[in-house]
């Protein structure tokens, strides 16, 4: 065995040799004490303990050795159990020493949806949700990236964050490289609006790049203006449908107990009935009948599955109102 290994195992166990010797001497004092039972012998040890410790020699009585070994073993077992159950205890390391984290350590701070995370590295992410279910998992999202020119700060950190497209961004881009890389993606694919913030007058953008941005914004505004009539028409149609439905409900409330179907009731609620041409399916005759109601038009009864879904949505809405 190497000298270093011998020292490693011998030095930590030296105290237990002393404890074994002390327990052995206590066993000797108990053996020499007068008395017919254990209680009397324990009292008698007060008279024999000085005699037992008078000589450092352990003696040759096997019973004394057994007491010494058993006492040292019991103390060693007690120390081992306490060390085993110690909180945050790592052998041969100072308490509070840092260590490299693993996937399990960062998992509580990662959003299951990849696009809702700040990318820290190839394997570590941080959720953008500042109010997670567990408030203890909330973290500051500020990041400071330090590196020399050409070290990849823009390519390997800034560009991936912009491509996540989960926030509003203000980017200082004197060279215009970031704009050329991700500008089209953010504007066309994600609907972001690019603004130059008068960079043209400050000399940060070339005239050609500023013109490109201006034309892009003008085209987007022109498209938005062209979409306004269609959106207004859609809104008006939705408003008319809502008003027609309300009128239909008011009519239905007037007929609370329908005992017979009269021509007046039919004319009041039904606009027209369309009977389609009959056809055969699997040898059975089928004929479609569509009833168009006044103010609301054609209405089809939902299936049992759709009714159950609507009912659950209604209960969820009621629960949110009462919460």
pLDDT > 70? residue 323 = no
Question: What span, in angstroms and rounded, lies between the C-alpha atoms of 179 and 213?
Answer: 10
Question: What span, in angstroms and rounded, lies between the C-alpha atoms of 108 and 127?
Answer: 9
User: What is the pLDDT, as a whole number, of residue 90?
Assistant: 59
Looking at residues 277-301, what average pLDDT do you find?
A: 76
DSSP 238-275: HHHHHHHHHHHHHHHHH-----S--HHHHHHHEEEEEE
Residue with tokens 């914004």: 217
Nearest 5°: CA angle at 76, between 75 and 82? 90
Continuous segment of H or E residues that includes residue 297 = strand 297-298
Tell me the two tokens of residue 304.
Answer: 């049992």
76-94 pLDDT per residue, tens:
888 888 877 766 555 666 6
63-77 pLDDT per residue, tens:
778 878 888 888 888
Are 299 and 306 contacting, i.e. CB atoms less than 8 angstroms apart? no
Phi-psi region of 8 (alpha: psi -120 to 50; beta: other; left: phi over 0): alpha
Continuous segment of H or E residues that includes residue 9 = helix 3-32
Question: What span, in angstroms and rounded, lies between the C-alpha atoms of 120 and 126?
Answer: 7
Question: What span, in angstroms and rounded, lies between the C-alpha atoms of 17 and 69?
Answer: 9
User: What is the pLDDT, as a whole number, of residue 259?
Assistant: 67
Looking at residues 197-211, what average pLDDT do you find?
A: 61
Residue with tokens 């500008």: 183
Strand order in the sheet with 297-298: 270-275, 289-293, 297-298
Are 125 and 107 contacting, i.e. CB atoms less than 8 angstroms apart? no
Looking at residues 100-127, what average pLDDT do you find?
A: 86
Q: In the chain, what's the furthest Cα-to-Cα distance? A: 126
Question: What span, in angstroms and rounded, lies between the C-alpha atoms of 86 and 308?
Answer: 55
Are 210 and 217 contacting, i.e. CB atoms less than 8 angstroms apart? no
Domain range list for the chain: 3-84
Q: How many of the other CB atoms lie within 10 Å of CB of 6?
A: 10
224-281 pLDDT per residue, tens:
888 888 888 887 877 777 777 777 677 666 666 666 767 777 777 777 878 888 888 7
User: What is the pLDDT, as a whole number, of residue 89?
Assistant: 52
Nearest 5°: CA angle at 311, between 299 and 235? 50
pLDDT, averaged across the chain: 76
Residue 126 makes CB contacts below 8 A (sequence gap 6+) with: 109, 110, 117, 118, 120, 139, 141
Q: What percent of the chain has pLDDT over 90?
A: 0
Q: How many of the other CB atoms lie within 10 Å of CB of 179?
A: 19
User: What is the pLDDT, as a whole number, of residue 288?
Assistant: 81
């Amino acid at each position: 065995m190497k000298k270093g290994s011998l020292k490693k195992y011998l030095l930590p166990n030296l105290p237990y040799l002393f404890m074994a010797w002390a327990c052995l001497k206590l066993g000797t004092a108990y053996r020499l004490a007068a008395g017919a039972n254990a209680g009397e012998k324990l009292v008698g040890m007060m008279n024999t303990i000085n005699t037992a410790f008078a000589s450092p020699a352990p003696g040759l009585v096997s019973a004394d050795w057994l007491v010494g070994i058993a006492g040292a073993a019991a103390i060693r077992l007690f120390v081992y159990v306490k060390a085993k159950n110690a909180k945050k205890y790592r052998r041969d390391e100072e308490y509070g020493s840092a260590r490299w984290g693993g996937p399990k350590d960062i998992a509580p701070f990662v959003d299951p949806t990849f696009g809702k995370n700040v990318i820290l590295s190839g394997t570590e992410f941080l959720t953008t949700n500042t109010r997670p279910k567990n408030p203890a998992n909330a973290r500051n999202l500020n990041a400071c990236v330090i590196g020399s020119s050409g070290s990849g700060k823009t390519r390997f950190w800034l560009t991936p964050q912009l491509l996540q497209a989960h926030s509003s961004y203000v980017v200082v881009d004197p060279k215009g490289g970031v704009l050329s890389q991700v500008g089209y993606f953010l504007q066309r694919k994600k609907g972001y609006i690019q603004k130059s913030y008068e960079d043209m007058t400050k000399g940060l953008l070339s005239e050609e790049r500023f013109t490109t941005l201006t034309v892009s914004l003008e085209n987007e505004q022109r498209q938005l203006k062209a979409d306004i009539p269609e959106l207004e028409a859609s809104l008006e149609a939705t408003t008319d449908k809502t008003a027609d439905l309300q009128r239909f409900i008011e009519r239905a409330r007037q007929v609370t107990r329908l005992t017979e179907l009269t021509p007046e009731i039919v004319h009041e609620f039904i606009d027209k009935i369309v009977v389609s041409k009959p056809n055969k399916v699997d040898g059975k005759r089928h004929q479609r009948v569509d009833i168009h109601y006044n103010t609301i038009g054609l209405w089809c009864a939902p299936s049992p599955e759709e009714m159950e879904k609507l009912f659950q949505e209604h209960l969820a809405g009621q629960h949110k109102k009462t919460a």
